[in-house]
Amino acid sequence: MKSVLKFIIAITGVLSFSACDQFLDVNENPNAPGATTLPLSAKFPSALVATVNLEVGLHNQVGAFWGGYWGTTNEGVGLYIDLKTYNGPEIRHQRDGIHIWENNYNTLLYYQLIREEAQEKGALFYLGAAKIMQGWHFLRLVDVYNGVPFDDALQGTKVLSPRYEDGKTVYEKAINLITEGIVDMKSTLPGTEASTDDILFKGDKTLWAKFGNTVKLRALVRQSQVAGQASYITSEIQKIQQEGSGYLGVGQSALAQPGYLNTAGKLNPLWETYYRNVQGVSTNAREDIRPTNFLLGKYQERNDPRLANLYVAVNGEYKGVIFGNQGTAPAYARAATSLFKGPNENSSRPAALFKSAQQASVLLGSFESLFLQAEAAQRGWLPGSAQTFYEQGIQESFKYMEVPAAEFAAYNAQALVNFEQAPNKIERILEQKWLALNSLNSLEAWSEFRRTGFPDIPVSPSAPTPTARPLRFMYPESELMTNGEQARKMGGDDTLKDAVWWDR
């Protein structure tokens, strides 16, 4: 943590994954003495882009492998090896690891700068949005690491050894921070809202409140398996109902559009990393990442029309790989397995995941929100019909993945899809949620698997033992070197098998 705080946001590094318009080309450190301070209208979209890049980049990649969606071809046997072998020490490596800790705290600090300036200037819209987004990031950190610094975080050199707090406490404080942000957002005077610099909702205060409530609902649903949390969950649901804005609904996805261009470094980051570069050449990741046979089987069992828009058929069939497979079986070669599908393979029409180089990035889809509401309603937490929310979630996923609305009726009539025919309605909701999150919000898929054990995602054959399935990340080397005493106070052996607090 100390090393992160000393960094104090060199914002060009935070945004190195993609910088996407004039207001995102930030080349000055806003903390540097004597620097020209950028306006909030420039800082705010830059911070949002950093959040989005984490979600569609590192978060999505980890979740896609560990959440059962992705494997690699024979030719890609040496790629993503740490994820495929569950190699915790290498994942946390200071130089070559997966820097989820560092990038989340860097982004949190940038929101802190926005928050402090907005507080000073009375800019309630930016203040509220910064608090909501900080809540988002703290929840993400707990989901990946468990206990993390909260109160002592983001203090720069004022606190050299930030105190860790347990995951449950940080979850509660993050939810409270989002609640505060919604209050600030709703108190914004007309005419002082953000406009085009709000790359999520274009200054719509109601949608920001719905988004904040949806993030809180996600955090509350996450606690559903933990004994003793029922009264807390009920209390927080009541607060959301009293606030009155509700949750993201049909047609209300949190989609980030900062001005992506068909120019090198300014393409949609999912497109540029996993589909094609600015010259139209298939990327290395696309050439060697493939859907798992486990995933394809779930779509095929349900005659799912999304499948044809997701992947390219091989001789009329969809062929996948085994996650973690290190062999050379011909069935798992590039030529024998299904690529991601995009416009080039779809008669120039948008496909399920890849639509255009300028497509918006998904931060939180309406389909996820509706499946969250379906589960909450089924558990008796929310009014309304769980079946209606469930069916709307499928329809919203169909819409996003370019499936004609007319195909829903036949799909929904199947015994493996229909809500009324489900022997276990919570599992039925989770099945469709998992199919909808595929490669879009994959970290959620891994988190939901840890929470529920559903679906039964196979263990990597490259795992050191059959029970080596990862339950969290280990604390990064940089943290152990600079704040190890606090990290060790979290208990456990700091291994991938130490469950986060809600995984019970």
pLDDT band at 24 (very low <50, low <70, confident <90, very high): very low
d(Cα 160, Cα 325) in Å, to the nearest integer? 44
**Confidence at residue 317, expressed as pLDDT on a 0 to 100 scale:** 98
CATH 1.25.40.390 in the chain, residue ranges: 2-258+466-488
Q: What is the mean pLDDT of residues 33-37?
A: 44
Is the pLDDT reported for residue 300 higher than 50? yes
d(Cα 405, Cα 298) in Å, to the nearest integer? 21
Is the pLDDT reported for residue 94 higher than 80? yes
pTM here? Answer: 0.93
Identify the weakest region by mean pLDDT among 33-47, 202-216, 413-427. Answer: 33-47
d(Cα 385, Cα 393) in Å, to the nearest integer? 12
Q: What share of the chain is helix, strand, coil (3-state, %, to 5)?
A: 50, 5, 45
Q: Which helix (H) or strand (E) holds 256?
A: strand 254-256
d(Cα 124, Cα 228) in Å, to the nearest integer? 36
Q: Output the six-digit token pair for 3.
A: 């090393």
The answer to whether 358 touches 262, Cβ cutoff 8 Å, is: yes
Q: Output the six-digit token pair for 439.
A: 């490669």
Is the pLDDT reported for residue 444 higher than 50? yes
* Whether domain 2-258+466-488 has CATH 1.25.40.390: yes
Nearest to 270 by CA among 252, 283, 281: 283
Amino acid at 16: S
Cβ count near 287 (within 10 Å):
17
- Residues, the chain, total? 504
Amino acid at 439: S
Q: Which helix (H) or strand (E) holds 362?
A: strand 361-364
pLDDT band at 30 (very low <50, low <70, confident <90, very high): very low
The answer to whether 236 touches 175, Cβ cutoff 8 Å, is: yes
- Give the pairing of strands 148-149 and 164-165: antiparallel
CA distances from 96 to 14, 92, 99, 348 (A): 17, 8, 9, 38
Q: What is the mean pLDDT of residues 477-501?
A: 91
Tens of pLDDT, residue by residue over 179-191, are 999 999 999 999 9
CA distances from 289 to 49, 340, 373 (A): 25, 8, 32
Report percent pLDDT > 70 for the chain: 93
**For the residues of 141-173, what is the DSSP string, one character each?**
HHHHHSSEE-TTTT-GGG-SSPPEE-HHHHHHH
Cα 383 to the center of its chain, rounded Å: 27
pLDDT band at 131 (very low <50, low <70, confident <90, very high): very high
Q: Output the six-digit token pair for 324.
A: 């973690």
**Confidence at residue 18, expressed as pLDDT on a 0 to 100 scale:** 34
The answer to whether 186 touches 413, Cβ cutoff 8 Å, is: no
**Confidence at residue 25, expressed as pLDDT on a 0 to 100 scale:** 44
Please state at what angle helix 205-222 crosses helix 167-186, rounded to 10 degrees: 160
Cβ count near 116 (within 10 Å):
13
d(Cα 211, Cα 232) in Å, to the nearest integer? 21
| Residue labelled with tokens 């416009």 | 343
The answer to whether 115 touches 134, Cβ cutoff 8 Å, is: yes
Please state at what angle helix 425-437 crosses helix 366-378, rounded to 10 degrees: 170
Is the pLDDT reported for residue 422 higher than 60? yes
Q: Output the six-digit token pair for 273.
A: 């990393």
The SS3 of residue 380 is coil
Non-local (6+) Cβ contacts of 137 within 8 A are 51, 104, 107, 108, 111
Q: What is the mean pLDDT of residues 324-349?
A: 95
